[in-house]
Amino acid sequence: MEIPYQSLEKTTLYALLEEFVTRDGTDYGVRECTVEEKLKQVLRQLELGLVGIVFDPETQSCNLISHRT
Domain formed by 2-66, architecture: Orthogonal Bundle (1.10)
Mean pLDDT in residue range 3-8: 95
User: Alpha carbon of 19 to those of 46, 56, 61: distances in Å?
Assistant: 15, 16, 11
pLDDT, tens digit, for every residue of 22-64? Answer: 886 655 566 778 889 989 999 999 999 999 999 999 999 999 9
Position 9, amino acid: E
Position 33, amino acid: C
Sketch the domain layout of the chain as residue ranges: 2-66
pLDDT category of residue 69 using cuts at 50, 70 and 90: low
* pLDDT reported for residue 29: 64
